[in-house]
């Protein structure tokens, strides 16, 4: 009897200790989750700026009910849809607390952890059609592990569905998202894949079909105030199918790469798109690469400028320039100057168009700066006087292959339903290339027209020849005649 009582006492003691430990672990798990939500909002604000994210994106914990062995959490992602109207996705989470969550043990996971979460999307105005298509089943499920280190590992699975309403005909092939982030979310990895998505628009008869979407992103924080993101993705095919009589567009192997490094509120970023093959109707346009970059871009100043412009647009519509007051114009200009004060550098590099006959390329780089002087003195200066101070340097390089241009002109004519003759492209190229070459604005190297133009400190260098801005403009106007 005494032994039984002793055993019972030990069991009760262990139970009390485990209950207390589970309650403590649950409290710590709540702190980790709340920190992760705060970090997500801070990261969005850091990248987009406080004005850009106001009302546009926010993660919110709507309710957190913590019990001894488990917790129930209601979490929403609030954002503005493509139509500008507010929308939200809301997840209901059930967390089992560690150190050995019961649901994790049932799933065969025996490692100690803070929490093991099973979450489901619940209906909102934005997601109700998905639930209707699945007869009330949740279209999104997520499994999340919260480690004692604060690291979070989550796997989201999206069910295939299709529905049709007044807004469109949607066929979605399901998908997967995986996120692994360390404590605080300063370093993490993201992967995602979605086999197919097709959206039809009943008002226009247009349909967009996307096949084979793969996404990946890596975030690192080498210093306390520095965030680096390397993201990329590929779409196997993209089709914009027009109703009968329209020209459909087909893109094969569309890839993108986005790299950014932000220190404080200054952002350096590059974005590149690669379109492996582009077809318009029966015409083969070729492949296109489009790259761009922004260096020393002040995200806070950019958000302030966007907020000022959006407020004026909401007040005056498209007629801002002629409707705003002098004070509003000065306020808007002040926001522009604030953006220029960080000496941003903007570039298109490279823009490359290839087809079976060759390739052409274009690069452009702008070094910008804020004009010197106070606001009062700048009020007295016109746009032409301020422009040389804003445009510190311009570099433009152009290379056009004559055979490629002629082939492209033939394919464009074919896409428009016209005869695919080489004559119009040949005449157009030879006419303008001849005029520009006569003015020294182009140099022909074999069948390729090249131009290298640099502007700096009020002078223009064209293919190695120095001239004033007025001389350059005069040569351009004469070439256009």
| Lookup: tokens for 358 | 């060759």
Give the pLDDT of residue 449.
Answer: 96
What residues in the chain have per-residue pLDDT under 70?
1-26, 29, 39-57, 80-85, 98, 245, 373-385
C-alpha–C-alpha distance, residues 452 and 27, integer Å: 64
**Phi–psi pair at 64, nearest 5 degrees:** -135, 105
Q: Which two tokens stand for residue 207?
A: 């349909």
Query: In terms of DSSP bridges, do strands 115-122 and 86-97 run parallel, antiparallel, or are they unpaired?
Result: antiparallel
Q: What is the largest CA-CA distance in the chain?
A: 112
Q: Give residue 45's pLDDT.
A: 54
Supply the pTM of this predicted model: 0.82
φ, ψ for residue 357 (rounded to 5)?
Answer: -100, -10
Sequence-ordered list of residues with C-beta below 8 angstroms from that of 172, at least 6 positions apart, any chain = 158, 160, 161, 162, 194, 196, 197, 198
Distance CA 408, CA 425 (A): 8
The candidate with the shortest Cα–Cα distance to 32, out of 157, 144, 137, 119, is 144
| pLDDT at res. 379 | 60
Give the model's pLDDT for residue 115.
Answer: 81
Distance CA 38, CA 418 (A): 58
Distance CA 345, CA 349 (A): 12
Report helix, strand or coil for 54: coil
* Residue 32 host element (H or E): helix 2-48
What's the pLDDT score for residue 246?
Answer: 75
The reported pLDDT for the residue numbered 457 is 86
pLDDT for residue 380: 53
The secondary structure of 194-256 as a DSSP string is EEEEEEEETTTTEEEEEEEEEEEEEEEEEETTEEEEEEEEEEEEEEEEPPTTS--EEEEEEEE
| pLDDT of res. 381 | 59
Q: Residue 376's pLDDT is what? A: 58
Sign of CA dihedral 188, 189, 194, 199: positive
Cα 252 from Cα 412, distance rounded (Å): 18
Q: In the prediction, which pLDDT does 202 show?
A: 86
């Amino acid at each position: 009897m005494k032994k039984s009582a002793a055993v019972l006492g030990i069991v009760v003691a262990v139970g009390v200790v485990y209950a207390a430990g589970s309650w403590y672990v649950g409290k710590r798990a709540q702190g980790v989750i709340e920190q992760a939500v705060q970090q997500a909002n801070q990261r969005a604000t850091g990248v987009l700026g406080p004005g850009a994210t106001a009302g546009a994106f926010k993660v919110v914990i709507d309710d957190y009910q913590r019990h001894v062995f488990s917790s129930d959490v209601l979490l929403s992602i609030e954002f503005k849809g493509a139509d500008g109207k507010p929308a939200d996705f809301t997840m209901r989470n059930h967390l089992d607390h560690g150190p050995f969550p019961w649901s994790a043990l049932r799933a065969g996971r025996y490692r100690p952890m803070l929490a093991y979460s099973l979450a489901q999307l619940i209906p909102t105005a934005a997601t109700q059609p998905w639930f209707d298509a699945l007869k009330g089943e949740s279209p999104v499920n997520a499994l999340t592990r919260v480690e004692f280190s604060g690291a979070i590992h989550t796997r989201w699975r999206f069910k295939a569905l299709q529905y049709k309403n007044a807004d469109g005909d949607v066929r979605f092939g399901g998908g997967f998202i995986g996120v692994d982030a360390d404590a605080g979310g300063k370093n993490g990895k993201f992967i995602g894949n979605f086999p197919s998505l097709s959206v039809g628009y009943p008002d226009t008869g247009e349909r967009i079909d996307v096949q084979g979407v793969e996404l990946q992103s890596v975030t690192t924080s080498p210093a306390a105030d520095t965030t680096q993101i390397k993201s990329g993705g590929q779409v196997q095919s993209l089709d914009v199918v027009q109703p009968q009589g329209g020209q459909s567009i087909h893109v094969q192997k569309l890839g993108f790469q986005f790299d950014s490094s932000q220190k404080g509120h200054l952002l350096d970023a590059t974005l590149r798109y690669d379109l492996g093959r582009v077809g318009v109707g029966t015409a083969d346009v070729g492949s296109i690469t489009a790259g761009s970059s922004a260096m020393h871009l002040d995200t806070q100043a950019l958000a302030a400028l966007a907020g000022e412009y959006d407020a004026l647009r909401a007040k005056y519509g498209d007629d801002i320039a002629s409707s705003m007051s002098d004070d509003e114009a000065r306020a808007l200009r002040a926001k522009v100057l604030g953006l220029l004060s960080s000496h941003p550098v903007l570039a298109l590099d490279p823009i490359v168009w290839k087809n079976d006959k060759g390739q052409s390329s274009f690069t452009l780089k702008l070094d910008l700066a804020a004009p010197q002087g106070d606001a009062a003195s700048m009020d007295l200066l016109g746009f032409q006087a301020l422009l040389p101070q804003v445009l510190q340097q311009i570099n433009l390089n152009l290379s056009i292959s004559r055979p490629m241009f002629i082939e492209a002109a033939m394919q464009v004519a074919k896409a428009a339903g016209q005869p695919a003759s080489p004559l119009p492209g040949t005449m157009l190229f030879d006419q303008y290339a001849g005029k520009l070459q006569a003015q020294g604005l182009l140099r022909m190297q074999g069948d390729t027209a090249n131009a290298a133009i640099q502007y700096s400190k009020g002078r223009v260098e064209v293919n190695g020849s120095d001239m004033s801005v007025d001389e350059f403009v005069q040569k351009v106007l004469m070439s256009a005649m």
